[in-house]
């Protein structure tokens, strides 16, 4: 066993997530028109990156693990792309 150290990165990421959550909630009450969705999704993306990089420890991984993580993202892209293809062209 290595010596136990406070998981600073984890605590930091947690606080950052809470901060971003507060930001989402606050901005939801500021009327920005279409900008609201953009802001909410951008914050969501940042949160997802934090979770992937720090909680899932992807920042310390190489090669195959990253390939599989990227595959998950790529497949999400397929879902959005083909799903929106219907939505955008519906009459």
- Which residues of this chain interact with other proteins, rule CB under 8 A? 64, 68, 71-72, 75, 78-79, 82-83, 85-91
Specify the residue, 32 or 84, whose C-beta has the smaller distance to other proteins: 84
Q: CB of residue 80 vs other proteins: minimum separation in angstroms?
A: 10
* Alpha-helix residue ranges (DSSP H) falling in 7-62: 8-28, 35-50
Burial annotation 26-60 (CB, 10 A radius, 16+ → b, else e)? eeeeeeeeeeeeebeeeeeeebeebeeebeeebee
Specify the residue, 2 or 89, whose C-beta has the smaller distance to other proteins: 89
Specify the residue, 55 or 75, whose C-beta has the smaller distance to other proteins: 75
């Amino acid at each position: 066993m290595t010596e136990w150290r406070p998981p600073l990165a984890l605590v930091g990421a947690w606080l950052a997530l809470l901060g971003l959550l507060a930001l989402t909630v606050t901005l939801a009450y500021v009327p920005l028109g279409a900008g609201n969705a953009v802001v909410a999704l951008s914050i969501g993306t940042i949160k997802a990156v934090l979770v992937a990089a720090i909680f899932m420890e992807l920042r310390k991984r190489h090669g195959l693990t990253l390939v599989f993580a990227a595959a998950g993202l790529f497949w999400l892209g397929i879902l959005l792309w083909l799903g929106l293809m219907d939505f955008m062209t519906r009459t």
